[in-house]
Structure 1
Amino acid sequence: MRHDDVWRAIDAIAAENGLSPSGLARRAGLDPTAFNPSKRVGPDGRARWPSTESVSKVLAATGTAVENFASLVSGQGPQAGRSRGSVARRIPLIGLAQAGGDGFFDDGGFPVGGSWDEISIPDIADPNAYALEISGDSMEPVFRDGDIVIVSPQAPVRRGDRVVVRTRLGEVMAKQLVRQSAKRIELQSLNPAHPNYNFELSEVAWMHRIVWASQ
């Protein structure tokens, strides 16, 4: 375990909850500057670690399980839908940028065609589940370039879920669903350096929920 891995996990928890590191510290009842970059290195230049008390307060304030925090520290990424003893199966895989091309999805957003690679994953109930390789940094620090996410067309989508959206113009993006009304959806890039998006529902071909992630 490295110093940078622990801080990356804390940054990921902040992003998952729509917070800056300072906002996360406030929610946890800590000094707002507790997680600032300047506090991660001591005056002598040596790396500083967050205290176990600080980590405990963060997990309690955000409802994050210790196991999920450990997964983030180890680089396995946020996970959902994984069960102990689950049986691996193979599902189709393509790159997120490639997914915008023709011939990879049918009109319902299900994977089709013979140009997909395949990977083995723990069993996912949805027979139409597929995998995308993340490209770019718009979802950092939760998803990073090269991470694999598993997407389920059948899973219900709710506010706050991380989703893959394809527009009718063929653009495919991984974002977080902020709000959905009868006419519009609002999507957030977890990396504040990237823009958020608003679409009329008529502009959206489909929206599927990310149910599992691995690196």
Structure 2
Amino acid sequence: MSEQQKVVRDLVQQMLAETGLTLTELARRAGVSSTTLTRFMNKDVKHTLSMSTLGKLSVASGVSVPMGMALPGAAAAATARPPAETLAIPKRGEMPQDLPVYGTAQGANGEGAFVINMGGQVDRIRRPPGLMANRDAFAIYVEGDSMEPRFEPGETVVVDPNRPVRPGDDVVLLVESPEPGQPPKAYIKRLVRRGAERILVKQYNPPREMEFPTAAVKKIFRVMRVGELLG
């Protein structure tokens, strides 16, 4: 085990100790892959966790990432954001647990489709600092493996109905069900092209593109990025 891996593992152990969560629970609250986190903590792996993953874990646990931690992407993050902003992450207890989760799995059916229960919450998670004034954002739990390795089963993603959507964005689409009386199906995909007649998206597992009639797509929500969640 490298010294870098040891430092990161010790940090994750601190997060577990301070929150009282298991690895799986911490991963779910942070919106990261529980498989990746468990493998890193329990197996002899050659990699460490990225700054993106540690940022999500930090928000979920309230444990700050120490300044100067030399991890993949750390140099770019330091250049993009002043050190004072990087450390300005509120403690876990300071983040209200009021961000609604509307996603509930109904089976992947080979396409990664599930249902968003907009009529009622299925859970609530901690509100990230970047969403303190945003009352429209909500979260969903990813089900199925159609977007691995970008999103894995059990991850939490946050969407904002008010954010503009562009090709290249990860999105959640609400598509009208072909079965009368059934709620729209929700898909988490990567947007390729959005036209007047057809909307083209892609998935990673297995790699394929899917088209939907534009008229059948009731809503498109953009998945928020880590930097947006941290504010």
Report how far residue 94 of structure 1 moved: 3.7
Aligned to 1:121: 127
TM-score (norm 2): 0.51
Aligned to 2:14: none
TM-score (norm 1): 0.54
Matches of 1:167 and 1:200, distance apart in 2: 9
SS in 1 for 2:124: strand
Report how far residue 148 of structure 1 moved: 0.4
Is 2:190 the partner of 1:176? yes
Aligned to 1:93: 101
Q: 1:70 aligns with which of 41, 44, 51?
A: 51
| Structure 2: unaligned runs, 5 residues or longer | 6-43, 60-84, 107-113, 178-183
Q: 1:139 aligns with which of 143, 147, 151?
A: 147
Q: 1:196 to 1:184 in 2, by over 3 A?
A: same
Is 2:163 the partner of 1:155? yes
Structure 1 segments, 4+ long, off by >6 Å, are 46-49
Matches of 2:201 and 2:164, distance apart in 1: 16
Q: 1:198 aligns with which of 205, 211, 218?
A: 211
Report how far residue 182 of structure 1 moved: 2.0
Matches of 1:201 and 1:70, distance apart in 2: 37
User: CA offsets, 1:151-209, max 9 Å, x none?
Assistant: 11111111101000111112111101011112221111133x15321011111111101
What is the one-letter code of the residue matched to 1:142? R
Matches of 2:141 and 2:46, distance apart in 1: 33
| Structure 1: unaligned runs, 5 residues or longer | 3-45, 50-67, 106-111
What is the one-letter code of the residue matched to 2:101? L
Identity of aligned residues (%): 30
What is the one-letter code of the residue matched to 2:140? L
> Which moved further from structure 2: 175-184 or 87-96?
87-96
Contact 1:95/1:135, CA 8 A, preserved across alignment: no
Contact 1:153/1:209, CA 8 A, preserved across alignment: yes
Give the structure with the larger helix fraction.
Answer: 2
SS in 1 for 2:224: strand
Contact 1:131/1:149, CA 8 A, preserved across alignment: yes
Matches of 1:134 and 1:116, distance apart in 2: 13
Contact 2:143/2:154, CA 8 A, preserved across alignment: yes
